[in-house]
Amino acid sequence: MLKNNHKILHYNLVFAIFLLLNFKTSNARSERGTPRRGVVAWVTMKRWLGHLNSQGELLRIDRPVDVEYEAGAIADLLVKNNGPAVIFSQPRLADGTISEIPLVMNLFGSKQRTMQALGVSQEDEIGQRMVAMMKPDIGLFVKRPWKALPLAKDAMAMPPKKKRTGACQRVKLPLDLTKLPIPKTWPMDGGNFVTLPLVITKNSNTGEHNMGMYRAQVFGPKQIGLHWQIHKHGADHAAMHGKDAKMPVAICIGGPPELIFSAISPLPDNLSEYQFAGILGRKSLPITKALTQELMIPANADIVIEGYCIPSETRREGPFGDHFGFYSLTGQYPVLHVTAITARKDAVLPATIVGLPPMEDGYLGEAIGRQFSPVLKFQHRDVSSVHLPMETGFHNLAIVASKQRYPRQARKTALGLLGAGQMMFLKSIVAIDENQDPRDLEALLDCLNDKVDPATDLIVLKGQVADALEAASKYENVHDKLIIDATTLAKADPRGDDEPLEGSYSQHTPQWRQYAGSEKASQYPAPKPEDIPAFLANVLKLDLVSDARMLRDSMLVVSTSVEGRPSVKTGCDPSLLNEKENALLDSQELVRREQIIQLRNSIWQLDNNYGIRWLFVTDDDLDLHAEGARKRLLWQLTCRFDVERGLTFDANKSRLCWDATTPIPSKVHGTRRWPAITLHDEETLQKVASHPELENYHWPQHLTFHESVKSNGGE
C-alpha cells in the first residue's frame, strides 16, 4: 500500500537518525518539546497474558477441554459476547492425552484489547507515525531538533536485532505436530489448523524475509499445509525458488502482539514485517537463525515449526471454516516437511476461530484498518475516511467518505482504492460525502435511499480480481465489482440544476436526485409507494414471499424459500454427485432464477409509483425482525451476492433487484460448488454449556439459521 513512498520513507528515516545522533541538548529541553515516548513492546506473549490477567481480561479454564471443536466454540461464544481472552491449561488432544503446552484464544477479541496490544490510545496513532516518517516537517526539525525524537526513535527501532540463540529454541520438541494443542474449530474442517501462524519465507534473489499469516493444516506428524494464495508473498517466493527446489519455511506461533499485528498489516514491499514490529513496539525485534533452515526467525516466538516445501508438491487442503462465515473450498497447496519443532520454556499456543461475524479477526481487521487510515489518506488525498464493516467479512463492502469538489470525484476515489493493496479484493464500494461517518450504517441507508439513482449512480466493473475465498463468484479469483455513488452532486455536474459549462450539455436527471443532500431536498422528495403499510401488506400476500421488511421508503427486503437450495449445514459439491443428481441441480437452479424474476416483477407491479428503487431478496433462513437482524442482513446481502449473477434492473433502469439468495451449483448456469456455513454441532454446544464459567454468556439470536420464517411483516 505504501509502495510508491518507499524511497521517501528511507531518506526521511536517515534524516531522523542523523538528528537523533547529533542532538545535543538537555533532558529538560526535550521535556518542553515533544515528550519522550516509552517503549511499548510487549516482548513476549507471557507479558501480554500477564497484562490481560491483571485487567480481568483473561478467563482460565483448568479442567480438560477438547482442542477439537470445544475450545473453538468457547472462544466463539466469548467473542460474540464481548468476553475475555481464555487460556485452556489442560487442552485435550484427539488421542485423549493432555498437552503440556496451554492453548490460548480470543486474545484480541475486543476493540479495547486491540488498542492495548498495539500500545496506542488513539485509533489512528500508528498511521500518524507512519505518515510522519513519509513526510516529516523538515523545517520544524531543523529549527527544533527535539521535535524529531519520536520519529528518530521509531527509525532506530526498525532494524531487527540478531541474537545467537533465541528463547524460542530452548526446548526441542518431538517431530510430531499432533502433540501440539492445534485446534479443529468446525465440524467440516479438513483437519486441525494453525490459525495464527507467522509463516516465514525469503526471497531467494535478495534474501529479504517475509512474514505472512497463512493458515496451516496439519496433515500428519511431520507434514503441514501452507495455504498461501496466489496473490501472496509466500506464493511469490515459491515461484522464485523453482517448482522442484527445496524452499526453507518456518511457521512461528505466538510471540508478542506487535509481531502478530505486523504479519497482518498492509506494508510496502521494502518494509519488512520484522522492521514494522520494531516500529510498533519502539524496540528492535530480536531474531535468530533457525536450527535446521537458512532463515532468520523471531527469537521470542512461543513455538517454531521449521521445514521445507517443494513448490510443485501439493496436497488437497481444506475445507476450513473461514472469515466470510462459510467453509472455504478445498484446493491444492504446498506441503511443509517438518525438520524441527522448538519452543520457549513457558510456551503457549495462541489460536483463533474464524466464521460468522463478529469474530476476533474482525477486531484485528478493524484495528489495522483504522490505524492505517492516515496512510491511506496520505496516498489517496481525496479520501476522508474508510470503513470495511466486520459483518461483511471486510472484502465484500467498503464505505468511503470522499471529497466531491468536482463532478464524479468520489468515483475516481473508489477506482483508486480498488488498486490499493488488499482492497483489490473488494466486491463493492459505496462512496458517500466527505463529512459523513462511514461507520454510521443507519446514515448509509439514508444515503442509499435519498441519493442513489440506479440509472446513473451504479458502475459495474466486469472481470476484476477477487479474493480466493470468495464463494459467490462464477470464477475463482475473478468477479465483477460494483461502485455505488451516494454522494451529493458537485457543482458543475451535468446532472445538477446549474447552467452547463460553456459548450457542454445537461444530463437528464430526476429532480429528487439533483437536489439530494441540498437545502432544496425537502421540496423534491424521492418517489415512494403511495401507502407503504398497504403496499407491504400486499407484498406479504404474494405466494413467493416468506417475509418482508421496509428498510427505508425506497428500500424493501423480502425473504423467499427456494426449493433445492444448498443446506447451510452441508453445502453442495456437484463433483460428489452422479449425472442424474447434477441434472436435477441444473433444473433447480433454473427454477430458482425464474422464481427470483417472477418475485421481482410481482413486487414491481404492486409499486405503481416506481418508489421501490432497492429490492433486496434473500433466503428465509433469517428472521427479518429478530434483534440484530440488520447485522445479519448485511452479511447475507453481501456474502451471498454476486454482481454478475444477482444485480438486475427494470426496463427504465429506475429500479434494481439485488438477489442474494443462495445459488444452486450448476455447470449449465455457471454456479460453482457452494460451501456450508460455519455452525457448531449440538454435541459441542452441550459441552460448552456445561462450563459454569460461561453461564452468563448467550448465543446471539440473529445468528440462528431457520428452516423457514413467516410473519405478518412490518417494521
Judged by DSSP in three states, 677 sits in strand
185 closest CA partner among 326, 305, 72, 329: 72
**8 Å CB contact between 625 and 711:** yes
Check residue 330 and report its DSSP letter.
P
31 Cβ neighbours under 8 A, 6+ residues apart? none
Q: Residues in the chain, how many?
A: 715
Active site residues: 322
576 Cβ neighbours under 8 A, 6+ residues apart? none
**8 Å CB contact between 342 and 172:** yes
- Residue corresponding to grid cell 446481502: 637
- Residue corresponding to grid cell 507512519: 130
All cell numbers assigned to 537: 401488506
Q: Note if the bond before 663 is cis, omega within 30 degrees.
A: no
Does an H or E element contain 45, and which? helix 45-54
Q: Which residues pair with 572 in a beta bridge?
A: 674
Judged by DSSP in three states, 532 sits in helix
**Pairing, β 458-465 against β 65-66:** unpaired
Q: Where are the beta strands (DSSP E) in 166-222?
A: 171-173, 193-194, 197-202, 209-212, 216-220
Does an H or E element contain 383, and which? strand 383-387
Longest dimension (CA), the chain: 84
CA dist., res. 187 & res. 194, Å (int): 16
Buried residues in 283-321 as b, exposed as e (16+ CB within 10 A): bbbbbbbbbebebbbbbbbbbbbbbbbbbeeeeebbbbb
**8 Å CB contact between 400 and 616:** no
Q: Which residues pair with 618 in a beta bridge?
A: 559, 660
Q: How far is CA 653 from CA 231, 268, 453, 456, 487, in A?
A: 36, 42, 9, 9, 19
Judged by DSSP in three states, 117 sits in helix
369 closest CA partner among 261, 213, 477: 261
Please count the other Cβ atoms lying within 10 Å of the Cβ belonging to residue 488: 21
CA dist., res. 522 & res. 152, Å (int): 54
CA dist., res. 407 & res. 588, Å (int): 45
Return the C-alpha torsion angle 654, 660, 661, 662, nearest 10: 150
Buried residues in 351-387 as b, exposed as e (16+ CB within 10 A): bbbbbbbbbbbbbbbbbbbbbbbbbbbbbbebbbbbb
Backbone angles phi, psi at 132, to 5 degrees: -60, -35
All cell numbers assigned to 347: 510456551
Q: Note if the bond before 358 is cis, omega within 30 degrees.
A: yes
